[in-house]
């Protein structure tokens, strides 16, 4: 056992440290950590619906609509939350404005989603693309969108506002 621990300390830990400090992987890690309270809230209401709602239908009828709204605000938009959070954290690692990068990431993510032509007309986005099914696409789009944003701002592509406009910070 001591030989295994020594091998782990000498060979595995340095490699894991280098991988863990890689900017994009750290942004993905921090992005998921940032939305963890929202994920926990969503999973808690799903748990309530599937336990209390099934065992005690009267309480389930009361809690169901409330928990459904909480689910829509948490797990149903998980792809959007991950996209924003990863873009925000990646921009912060470059020392850029995280809010703008997060918004650019979400806008780019929505741009990549297929739009349906339903009764509501053109521009309807199915919720199935915004939940956990869209996480992988959101991660890729957040990284690419933020990288483009950072490259453009480092080259001086900044919109200058007149002095009458108050600063963001």
* 27-51 tens-digit pLDDT: 999 999 999 999 999 999 999 888 8
Q: Of 41, 39, 23, which Cα lies nearest the Cα of 87?
A: 23
What's the pLDDT score for residue 10?
Answer: 80
Beta bridge partners of 124: 116
Question: What pLDDT was estimated at residue 169?
Answer: 63
The percent of residues above 90 in pLDDT, for the chain, comes to: 50
* pLDDT computed for residue 119 by the predictor: 66
User: Residue 35 has which token pair?
Assistant: 């939305």
pLDDT of residue 106: 96
Helical H runs in 35-97? Answer: 36-55, 57-73, 78-94
Q: Which of 100, 101, 110, 103 is nearest to 79 (CA)?
A: 110
What is the pLDDT at residue 121? 60
CA angle 79/19/12 to nearest 5° reads 130
Q: Domain boundaries in the chain?
A: 24-154
For the whole model, what pTM was predicted? Answer: 0.81
pLDDT(111) > 80: yes
Residue closest to 88 by CA, chosen among 77, 80, 96, 99: 99
Q: From 37, 33, 142, select the one nearest 79 (Cα to Cα).
A: 142
Kindly report which listed range (17-21, 58-62, 100-104, 133-137) carries the lowest average pLDDT score.
17-21
What is the band of 122 on the pLDDT scale with cuts at 50, 70, 90? low
Angle at the Cα of 20 from the Cα atoms of 22 and 135, rounded to 5 degrees = 80
Give the per-residue pLDDT at 90.
96
Q: How many beta carbons lie within 10 A of that of residue 73, not counting itself?
A: 13
- Helices 57-73 and 36-55, packing angle to 10 deg: 160
Q: pLDDT higher for 56 or 159?
A: 56
**Does residue 72 have a pLDDT over 80?**
yes
The residue with tokens 């209401």 is 45
Strands (DSSP E) found in 20-169? 116-118, 121-124
Percent of the chain with pLDDT over 70: 95
pLDDT at 136 over 70: yes
């Amino acid at each position: 056992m001591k030989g295994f621990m020594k091998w782990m300390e000498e060979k595995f830990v340095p490699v894991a440290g280098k991988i863990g400090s890689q900017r994009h992987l750290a942004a993905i890690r921090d992005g998921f950590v940032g939305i963890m309270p929202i994920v926990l809230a969503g999973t808690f209401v799903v748990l309530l619906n599937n336990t209390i709602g099934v065992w005690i239908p009267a309480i389930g009828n009361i809690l169901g609509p409330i928990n459904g709204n909480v689910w829509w605000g948490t797990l149903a938009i998980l792809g959007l939350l991950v996209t924003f959070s990863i873009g925000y954290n990646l921009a912060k690692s470059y020392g850029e404005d995280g809010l703008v990068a997060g918004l650019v990431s979400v806008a780019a993510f929505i741009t990549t989603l297929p739009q349906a032509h339903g009764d509501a007309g053109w521009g309807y986005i199915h919720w199935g693309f915004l939940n956990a099914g869209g996480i992988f696409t959101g991660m890729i789009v957040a990284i690419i969108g933020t990288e483009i944003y950072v490259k453009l701002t480092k080259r001086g592509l900044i919109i200058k506002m007149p002095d009458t406009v108050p600063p963001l910070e």
